Amino acid sequence: MTKPGPPTAFPPSPASLAALAALGGGAALVSLFLWGELVLARAGGATSCALSDPEACARLWDGALASTIHRVTVLPVAGWGLAWALAAAVLPLVALVRAAEGRPRADLLSAARITAAAGVVAVLMLMAAAVQAPTFCMGCFFIYVLVSGYAGIALLGWRALGLPQRGRAALISLAAVAIAALVLLYPGLKTGSANPLVGGRSAANQLVGGRSASGTAAGPEANDDVSRFVASLAPPLRQKLADSLHQYRQGIAVPSGPPRTLIGSASAPLRITDFTDIRCGHCAELHETLAALEREAPAGSFSVEPRQFPLDGECNPYVRRAQDPVRCLAARARICVEGRPGASAYAGRLFGKQETLSTVDVYAMAEAMMPRRELEACVGRAETSEKLQSDIELAARYQIDGTPLVLVNGRKATSFPPFLYVMVLTGGHTDHPAFATLPAANPSAQLP
């Protein structure tokens, strides 16, 4: 039989206890929704937890803090939010019941206060991560509001209570959260981790078996990396990979001549050619994916051939309207800095500011590689325009219907990150045994 603690000199009102239980319950519902959104994002779906930017929440979940928490504890951040919320709801609820029975528990009240303080600390950490991303997750904002309300009552409204039986209360708070986390452990194990092909050093390093840059070059029998990767994919991603492989096998292949510039070794077994527009969001994602592959893949396993397809009629005859001069200017500027150290980083900076990119930005960001006067002269040269038109005409031969257009060893492919990853690992071979385990392809699938 549990021995009740001494009564408190400041008994909180039943209304405040009920409010805490309600706020904890609300936080649990929102956390459950966010966890569902995370599962959807991991499966390749579009989330609805943000207002205008469907990728906002995913960027926060794929950040260093959230990824580390998920990897180390198995539970995603949303799972820990749910565990906290369940504890935050149960503690005041039990305290309310005990008070109604005439057996008030000061340790339960202190435990609720400690839980509130822990919630505030967690919210501050997540807000810092969001600022660093930078991103704004509306669903996460609701959690912040609910936690703030909970802390307002438990920490400020109950400040006269103090923290009686703090040692016992801390154990109760910790046990409540730990029990909730253990209950949620199984679904946590079933929740996929961050996209291994976008972002910093992440799960991709594990998927390539920890090989260093001097590891064995990729090939059709390059070990079980491909098998492990394919087996780790959620069913919707396995389907997309099967569809991508099918489309690649059926893809257009036309003679394109030698590359104008290459990032990587000219003797690499795999060449990825990308045609991009500087305002294209999927093009920016592709640039991040290729950068991640460059960091994680064995040295010499692939090269990248950047080409341009600006979606503006000022320089592209296949686009009707001429309404954004930055698109064509950025394409010409990228051509001008081809082959120079930092050209890929320059493209990354342009993509990183693509929504607000201006003419001034295009020149300013290239200053370290090429002074503005020199870049302006290059942009205006007929030779630069000829190179741009060559890119545009080559893309047209591949029946481009949007950006990015991706070629793998000269054959039209998709920009689906897991597809590009397995192509790098296999050296462009589509007959790896792991692919036989994929579902049947959907010939009419629409893929980027």
pLDDT digits (tens, 9 = 90+) for 396-436: 999 998 899 999 999 999 999 999 999 999 999 999 999 99
User: To which residue do tokens 């569809």 refer?
Assistant: 243
Residue with the larger pLDDT of the pair 160 and 309: 309
Q: What is the pLDDT of residue 131?
A: 81
Q: What is the pLDDT of residue 17?
A: 93
Q: Which of 302, 357, 318 is nearest to 334 (CA)?
A: 357
Q: Which of 304, 298, 301, 369 is nearest to 333 (CA)?
A: 369
pLDDT of 255 > 60? The answer is yes
Q: Which residues contact 87 (CB under 8 A, 6 or more apart)?
A: 24, 115, 173, 176, 177, 179, 180
d(CA 445, CA 440): 12
Judge if the upstream peptide bond of residue 134 is cis by omega within 30 degrees of 0.
yes
Of 127-131, 183-187, 265-269, give the range with the top mean pLDDT: 265-269
Task: Please give the CATH number for the structural domain made up of 203-437.
Answer: 3.40.30.10
Q: What is the pLDDT of residue 208?
A: 36
Q: What is the pLDDT of residue 57?
A: 66
Q: What is the pLDDT of residue 369?
A: 92
Domain topology for 14-189: de novo design (two linked rop proteins) (1.20.1440)
Mean pLDDT lowest among 86-90, 171-175, 232-236, 349-353: 232-236
pLDDT of 4 > 70? The answer is no
Of 46-50, 295-299, 323-327, give the range with the top mean pLDDT: 323-327
**Rounded mean pLDDT, 48-52:** 58
**Rounded mean pLDDT, 237-259:** 92
Q: What are phi and psi of 9, to 5 degrees?
A: -75, -15
Using one digit for the tens of pLDDT, what is the confidence trace for 51-91?
A: 555 556 666 776 778 878 887 888 888 899 999 999 999 99
Residue with the larger pLDDT of the pair 321 and 61: 321
175, 182 contact by CB (below 8 A): no
In Å, what is the CA distance from 102 to each residue of 9, 96, 98, 111, 334? 14, 10, 6, 19, 75
Q: What is the pLDDT of residue 194?
A: 53
d(CA 129, CA 183): 27
Domain spans, the chain: 14-189, 203-437
